[in-house]
Amino acid sequence: MSQGAIELKKSNCKNCYKCIRYCPVKSIRFSGNQAPVVDEECIYCGRCIVVCPQHAKEARNDVEKVKVFLADGDKAPVYVSLAPSFVANYPQATIESVQKALLKLGFAGVEETALGASMVKDQYEKLVAEGKQEVIISTCCHSVNLLVRRHFPQAIAHLARVVSPMVAHCQSLKERFPGCKTVFVGPCVAKKHEQTEHKEAVDCVLTFRELSAWLEEEKIKIEAGHDENAYSKARLFPACGGILRTMKCDDPHYTYLAIDGAHNCRMALKDVMEGKLGRCFIEMSMCTGSCICGPVMDGYRSTPISGFVAVRDYAGPHDFVVPPYDPESLRCDHPYSKINHEVPSEESIQRILKMVGKTSKADELNCGSCGYDTCRAKAIAVIQGKADLSMCLPFLKDRAESFSDTIINNTPNGIIVVNESLEVQQINSAALHLLNLQEASTVLGEKIDRLLEPSIFQEVMLMGENVSNRVLYLADYLKYVEISVLQDRNYHVLMCILRDITEEQNARERKEKIRQHTIEVTDQVVEKQMRVVQEIASLLGETTAETKIALTKLKESLSDESTVH
């Protein structure tokens, strides 16, 4: 398993490459038929969690860690910083109703992260007012921060040197409740990584999904509530454009932009690095729809419209009244997170491409089935140890077809494949020769009765049993064949295997003729010999009878003489 914020269930990983396909930075290594996250490259946007059809990727569960905190709550009370997107995750909920539910779990208190958002918003406005930074990129989204730090380091200077609302609020909680523990609860996987960089402020991060499962386990429900707090404008932060809606945005020297979605963020950063943007403030969110569409909302509630409406209706028209804080405590640097990948040579790339049959540009389909946008990108990933040659599905398909075609076309047996309508789908060269055909194209798509008697195929389909080694005489071809018909119900085809046994049958017939002739000659010899024996026996029979009569008479004569004397 990954040791980062995203873990892999190996038993669920099914070789589909879908996570690679949707990962905006390709921070997934395919090895041993598994696809674990590469933590040092990951931006924890959570797309792999959302798109995995087998739920093989999941956010690290930290509920047990929080339970340990609560067990020691007498010494260190535990406070929750609740992300403002909670109203999109828990319809009709309010901060009071959530607090009521979480107090039952043992938390000492619950506050809105939007308090920290108000602090952060003030710092953004100061940066714009100072005018020292030509392009200012918001730093509320940790996935965006990681995207810049790890994959667009040239744009680090454009990140606002301001902590996120989570860090700002948790710092405030620590100052107001000395010795407490802080737990952020929100819709974001990246916050789990951000916590590791700000341990002094944030002790743990839970997702809405983790919290909901925990509440369900304890049979605690978050009830609907009602809130009319007019001083809660920063509750707009989790919606796309929400940060700008809380800011003044009145500096005529700056353009204010809101960008959401991984692709748009990447394109915007490229424009920034190429100097295509003038003085501007960019609100940048990795998730399409921003935080209200976070990857670990309950059941992944990707509902930007209803989520936006919930956030809009819950927010007030005025700023929060925030506790006193030191603006300097909200300043932070954004270090470059170097990724140690050597740039492969063109020779190395071409070598990998050739290994999967890409010998020219025309062979590079760039189909994306492996998860990478281009064949070159996939080849580079192979060199970097993040991909495998076997991931190229067109290559595997071509190799498998070539291998099967080699076998089929070189076997001495004729092979004919028909569909369940008994139309010829495939025929090999041995079958063409056997049936005196020139080309396969002349019979493909035709009914099998043009070549063979269809009754044996109909029998297989009707009885559901394959036929093996049945001998048939093909009168049209003056040949004997041994025929086997096999049905593949999964692919709805029948395969006919024909073995030409004409020579064997002719040899068998010649042998039978010789045997019959031998029997006839033997019978004639035996019959002749029997006649001779019978004649000899007849002669012998007459002689013996005469002798017997003579001896009998002699015996009688002797007997008579003996009586007289």
DSSP letter at 448 equals G
Q: How far apart are CA 524 and CA 276, in angstroms?
A: 112
pLDDT of 301: 59
| 121 and 234 Cβ atoms separated by less than 8 Å | yes
Instruction: Count CB atoms within 10 A of the CB of residue 508.
Output: 12
- Looking at the chain, which residues constitute the CATH 1.10.15 domain(s)? 343-397
Instruction: Count CB atoms within 10 A of the CB of residue 485.
Output: 23
> What does DSSP say about strands 479-488 and 204-207: parallel, antiparallel, or unpaired?
unpaired
Q: What is the CATH code of the structural domain delimited by 343-397? A: 1.10.15
Which residue is listed with tokens 């509920």?
Answer: 63
pLDDT of 2: 42
- Nearest of 175, 73, 63, 192 to residue 116 by alpha carbon: 175
Q: How far apart are CA 127 and CA 134, in angstroms?
A: 10
| 163 and 139 Cβ atoms separated by less than 8 Å | yes
Which residue is listed with tokens 């796309």?
Answer: 240
Q: What is the pLDDT along the chain (565 residues), one digit of tens a residue?
A: 345 899 999 999 988 899 999 999 999 999 888 999 999 999 999 999 999 999 999 999 999 999 999 999 889 999 999 999 999 999 899 999 999 999 999 999 999 999 999 999 999 999 999 999 999 999 999 999 999 999 999 999 999 999 999 999 999 999 999 999 999 999 999 999 999 999 999 999 999 999 999 999 999 999 999 998 999 999 999 999 999 999 999 999 999 999 999 999 999 999 999 999 999 999 999 999 999 999 999 865 567 899 999 999 999 999 999 999 999 999 999 999 888 777 889 999 999 999 988 888 888 888 988 999 999 999 999 999 899 888 888 887 777 777 777 888 788 999 999 999 999 999 999 999 999 998 999 999 999 999 999 999 999 999 999 999 999 999 888 999 999 999 998 889 999 999 999 998 888 888 888 888 887 877 787 778 777 767 776 766 666 666 666 556 655 665 555 454 4
DSSP letter at 61 equals P
Query: What are the tokens at 276?
Result: 């295509």
> What does DSSP say about strands 414-419 and 493-500: parallel, antiparallel, or unpaired?
antiparallel
Q: How far apart are CA 191 and CA 209, in angstroms?
A: 14
Strand partners, 37: 28
Domain made up of 411-500: CATH architecture: 2-Layer Sandwich (3.30)
pLDDT of 545: 63
pLDDT of 300: 56
- Burial group, residue 545, by CB count within 10 angstroms (0-12, 13-18, 19+): exposed
Q: Which helix (H) or strand (E) holds 500?
A: strand 493-500
Q: How far apart are CA 537 and CA 531, in angstroms?
A: 10
- Looking at the chain, which residues constitute the CATH 3.30.450.20 domain(s)? 411-500
pLDDT of 407: 80
- Nearest of 151, 140, 139 to residue 43 by alpha carbon: 151
Q: How far apart are CA 258 and CA 141, in angstroms?
A: 13
Which residue is listed with tokens 């990998």?
Answer: 352
Instruction: Count CB atoms within 10 A of the CB of residue 139.
Output: 23
pLDDT of 552: 61
Q: Helices in 274-385 by DSSP H: which ranges?
A: 304-314, 346-355, 375-383
